[in-house]
Amino acid sequence: MSTSYTGGCACGAVRYEAKAAPIFENHCQCRDCQKRSGTGHTSYLTFASRADMKITGKATDWHVAGDSGNENIHSFCPICGTPVYLGFATKPDLIAVHASSLDDPSRFNPTVVTYGVRGLAWDTMDSALQTFERMPPG
C-alpha cells in the first residue's frame, strides 16, 4: 500500500496527494459541517503542511466563520460541487481533506469527535472515540 494519501472530487477535476501522515483525524459535528454535508457531521484528515500537499486542478473557495468564530476556507470542485479540502485563516500551514474524498476512504482512522455539543441525537458516533464539546486546544 502506498504511504501517500490521494484523493479528489467526484469528477476528477480537483486532485490532491499528501506524502506525510495526517496529524489529526476527526468527525466534526459543528453546524457548519452539518449544513455542508447534509447530515450530522463531516469527517476530516488534517495534514501539518499545506506546502507539502500536491493539489492539481482549480478549486473554488468559500470563506465562512466557523463555530469558533475563526475564518475557514472551504474548497470545492466548481464542476461537480464535491467538497475536497479545508483551510484555516488562523493556521494557514494546515490543510484538512474530507475523508470521503480519499481514493481509499478506509484509510480514515478517526480518533476524536469535535463539537459534540452540536451533535444530533440521530447522528450517533462511536462511543469509544473521545468527544470534545468544541475543538480541543492545540
Asked whether residue 60 is assigned to any structural domain, the reply reads yes
Asked whether residue 34 is assigned to any structural domain, the reply reads yes
**What integer pLDDT is reported at residue 42 of this predicted model?**
93
User: In the predicted model, is pLDDT for residue 1 greater than 60?
Assistant: no
Asked whether residue 23 is assigned to any structural domain, the reply reads yes
φ/ψ of residue 32, rounded to 5: -60, -45
- Please report, as a single letter, which amino acid is at residue 104: D
User: How do 42-47 and 95-98 pair as beta strands?
Assistant: antiparallel
Q: What residues contact 19, with CB distance under 8 A and at least 6 apart?
A: 3, 4, 52
DSSP codes, 53-111: EEEES-PEEEEEE-TTSSEEEEEE-TTT--EEEEEETT-TT-EEEEGGGBSSGGG----
**Which whole-number Å values give the CA distances from 111 to 63, 105, 131, in the listed order?**
27, 15, 9
User: By mean pLDDT, which of 39-43, 68-72, 87-91, 127-131 is the weakest?
Assistant: 68-72
* pLDDT, mean of residues 91-111: 96
pLDDT in tens, 106-127: 999 999 999 999 989 999 999 9
- What's the mean pLDDT when you consider all of the chain? 92
Asked whether residue 138 is assigned to any structural domain, the reply reads no
CATH for 39: 3.90.1590.10
Domains of the chain: total: 1
Asked whether residue 107 is assigned to any structural domain, the reply reads yes
Q: Which three cell numbers stand for residue 128?
A: 469509544
Number of other residues whose CB lies within 10 A of the CB of residue 54: 11
Asked whether residue 53 is assigned to any structural domain, the reply reads yes
How sure is the predictor about 41, in pLDDT bands with cuts at 50, 70 and 90? very high
Task: Provide, rounded to the nearest whole percent, the portion of the chain with pLDDT above 90.
Answer: 76
Q: Whole domain around residue 9: which residue ranges? A: 5-131
Indicate the pTM of the whole model: 0.90
Asked whether residue 136 is assigned to any structural domain, the reply reads no
Asked whether residue 47 is assigned to any structural domain, the reply reads yes
pLDDT in tens, 44-76: 999 999 999 999 999 999 998 877 778 899 999
